[in-house]
C-alpha cells in the first residue's frame, strides 16, 4: 500500500506513512484475521464415542499446537463450552471447558482458566490457561496450547452463548454469614506434618479420611499458620499432592470469601483441582478456613507460618467477653517435647474383581482408565489396591509403629492388634 501511494505520487508526510505501516502491522497480527480453522466434528460435546463398547478417543497433548484457532463443527461456527461437559464426550477422556465466560469485542484478548471434568468433579483437573478474543462477525478465536492433563481434549459447541456479562470474579463474597462468627468458634488444626517444609517421603497422608466439620485455625508448633496462597513444592506437606489456595487471602473488610484449591502434581502447580473452601480474615492477624473433604487421595491441606499482607487491617471490632476468652485461647502452649505426630495406615483387603465406585469422593480404589495418569500413591504403601484408613494421633517419641507385611491378606487379626496411645482430638477455640 505504501509503495502504491509512492508510485501514484500522492503527497503524504512521513507521519502518515508511519501510521499506515502501523495499521497494516496491527492487521497482520490480529488473531481475528490470522487463525487456523479447526473443523473436527469429533470435538462436539454430543460425541460419545469414548463411552462406546469399542471406544474411540484422542488426546490433545499429543497434537502440535501453534497460534490461534477458530472452531467449526461440520462447517458451523463453534466455540469452547463455558460450562461443565460430561465425562467421555468430545472424543476424549477428560473434557476441557473454560471458566469465566467469553469476552466481548471491547474486551480484547483475555485469559481464561481451563477445567477438566473427571471423577464427578467439573474441575478435577486444571489445564494451562488459554487466551481468547471475540471478533467482529460474532465468532471467537482461541490460542490453544498442549493441555496439562494426559488424555484430555478441547471441546466444541455450536449452541448460543451469553456475553452480556464478562466480569470474572475469582473470589465469591458470601452474602450469608454464619450465625456464630467463625473467628471465635473454630477447631484447632495443629498437625506438624502439614508444614510446607516437611519433606519426609516415608509417610504420606490423605485428608479424605478426615471427618471435616466447620471452621479451622491452623497452627505449627504453637505458631499461627495459614494455608499457602502460592504454589507449594510437590515434596512438601507430608502428602503426594499438597493443596494451596488461589487468588490470595482476604482482608478483614472482605468477610467470608470462597477460594479455589489447587494441587501441585506432574510439574504443574494447579494440575489437580479440589473443592473450593471458605476463608475469613480475623482480628489478631490470623485466618480461619471452612475445610471440606478433598476430591481425591492422597491430597492434603498445607500449612505455612508466614506473614500474609492484607490490603486492609484497620478494622477493629468491639471487644466482648467471648472475644477476650478467645484471644487468650488462640495462642496455645507449644507441644511438649516428648510428643510427636504419628500417622499409621491400616490397609484393608480388596477383592480382585472390585471396581471403582461411580459415586463422588472418597473413592474406594484407584482410577483405572489406562489413558489417565495414575492417582498419586504413597511410595511406602504395602499395595496399590488396599483402601487406606488414616489415623492421625499423638504418640511418644520413642514409639515405632510395626511394619505391615507385604501381603494385605496377612494383616494382623483383631486379637493380634497392638495398642496406640489415646489420641488427642481437635479442640475448640471457644
* CA-based nearest residue to 218, from 321, 332, 328: 332
Rounded to an integer, what is the distance from CA 288 to the centroid of its chain? 19
Give percent of the chain with pLDDT exceeding 70. Answer: 60
Cβ contacts of 220 within 8 Å, gap of 6 or more: 190, 192, 194, 195, 303, 304, 305
CA angle 267, 238, 123 (to 5 degrees): 50
Check if the beta carbon of residue 117 is closer than 8 Å to that of residue 86: yes
Return the pLDDT at 310. Answer: 45
List of the chain residues with pLDDT < 50: 1-7, 17, 20, 22-27, 163-175, 309-430
> What's 1's DSSP letter?
-
Q: What are phi and psi of 194, to 5 degrees?
A: -75, -10
Return the pLDDT at 57. Answer: 85
Burial of 415 (0-12, 13-18, 19+ CB in 10 A): exposed
Convert the pLDDT of each residue in 34-44 to its tens digit: 999 999 999 99
Return the pLDDT at 16. Answer: 57
Return the pLDDT at 15. Answer: 56
How far CA 93 is from CA of 78, 97, 276, 355, 373, in Å, comes to 21, 13, 24, 18, 11
Return the pLDDT at 5. Answer: 44
Residue whose C-alpha cell reads 496399590 in the numeric block: 384
Q: What are phi and psi of 314, to 5 degrees?
A: -95, -5
In three-state secondary structure terms, 222 is coil
Residue whose C-alpha cell reads 471447558 in the numeric block: 97
- Kindly state the cell numbers that stand for 56: 474411540
Work out the end-to-end distance of the chain between its first and last CA atoms, rounded to an integer number of angstroms. Answer: 77
Return the pLDDT at 9. Answer: 52
Return the pLDDT at 13. Answer: 58
Amino acid at each position: 500500500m505504501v509503495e502504491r501511494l509512492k508510485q501514484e505520487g500522492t503527497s503524504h508526510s512521513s507521519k502518515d506513512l508511519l501510521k499506515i505501516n502501523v495499521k497494516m502491522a496491527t492487521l497482520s497480527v490480529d488473531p481475528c484475521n490470522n487463525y487456523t480453522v479447526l473443523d473436527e466434528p469429533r470435538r462436539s460435546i454430543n460425541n460419545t464415542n469414548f463411552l462406546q463398547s469399542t471406544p474411540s478417543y484422542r488426546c490433545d497433548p499429543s497434537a502440535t499446537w501453534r497460534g490461534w484457532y477458530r472452531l467449526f463443527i461440520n462447517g458451523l461456527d463453534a466455540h469452547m463450552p463455558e460450562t461443565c461437559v460430561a465425562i467421555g464426550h468430545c472424543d476424549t477422556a477428560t473434557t476441557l471447558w473454560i471458566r469465566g465466560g467469553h469476552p466481548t469485542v471491547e474486551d480484547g484478548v483475555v485469559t481464561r482458566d481451563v477445567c477438566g471434568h473427571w471423577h464427578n468433579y467439573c474441575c478435577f483437573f486444571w489445564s494451562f490457561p488459554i487466551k481468547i478474543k471475540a471478533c467482529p462477525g460474532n465468532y471467537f478465536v482461541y490460542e490453544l496450547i498442549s493441555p496439562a492433563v494426559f488424555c484430555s481434549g478441547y471441546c466444541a459447541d455450536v449452541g448460543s452463548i451469553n456475553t452480556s456479562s464478562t466480569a470474572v470474579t475469582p473470589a465469591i463474597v458470601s452474602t450469608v454469614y454464619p450465625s456464630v462468627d467463625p473467628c471465635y468458634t473454630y477447631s484447632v488444626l495443629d498437625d506438624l506434618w502439614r508444614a510446607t517444609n516437611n519433606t519426609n517421603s516415608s509417610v504420606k497422608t490423605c485428608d479424605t479420611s478426615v471427618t471435616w466439620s466447620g471452621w479451622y485455625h491452623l497452627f505449627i508448633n504453637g505458631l499461627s499458620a495459614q494455608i499457602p496462597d502460592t504454589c507449594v513444592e510437590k515434596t512438601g506437606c507430608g502428602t503426594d499432592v499438597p493443596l494451596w489456595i488461589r487468588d490470595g487471602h482476604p482482608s478483614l473488610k472482605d468477610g467470608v470469601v470462597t477460594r479455589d484449591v489447587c494441587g501441585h502434581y506432574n510439574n504443574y502447580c494447579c494440575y489437580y483441582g479440589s473443592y473450593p473452601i471458605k476463608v475469613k480474615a480475623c482480628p489478631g492477624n490470623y485466618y480461619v478456613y471452612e475445610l471440606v473433604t478433598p476430591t481425591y487421595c492422597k491430597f492434603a491441606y498445607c500449612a505455612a507460618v508466614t506473614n500474609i499482607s492484607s490490603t486492609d487491617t484497620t478494622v477493629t471490632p468491639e471487644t466482648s467477653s467471648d472475644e477476650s476468652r478467645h484471644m487468650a485461647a488462640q495462642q496455645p502452649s507449644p507441644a511438649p517435647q516428648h510428643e510427636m505426630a504419628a500417622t499409621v495406615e491400616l490397609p484393608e483387603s480388596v477383592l480382585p474383581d472390585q471396581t471403582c465406585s461411580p459415586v463422588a469422593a472418597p473413592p474406594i480404589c484407584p482410577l483405572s482408565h489406562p489413558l489417565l495418569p495414575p492417582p498419586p500413591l504413597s511410595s511406602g504403601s504395602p499395595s496399590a489396591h488396599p483402601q487406606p484408613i488414616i489415623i492421625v494421633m499423638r504418640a511418644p517419641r520413642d514409639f515405632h509403629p510395626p511394619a505391615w507385611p507385604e501381603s494385605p491378606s496377612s494383616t494382623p487379626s483383631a486379637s493380634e492388634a497392638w495398642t496406640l496411645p489415646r489420641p488427642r482430638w481437635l479442640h475448640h477455640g471457644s
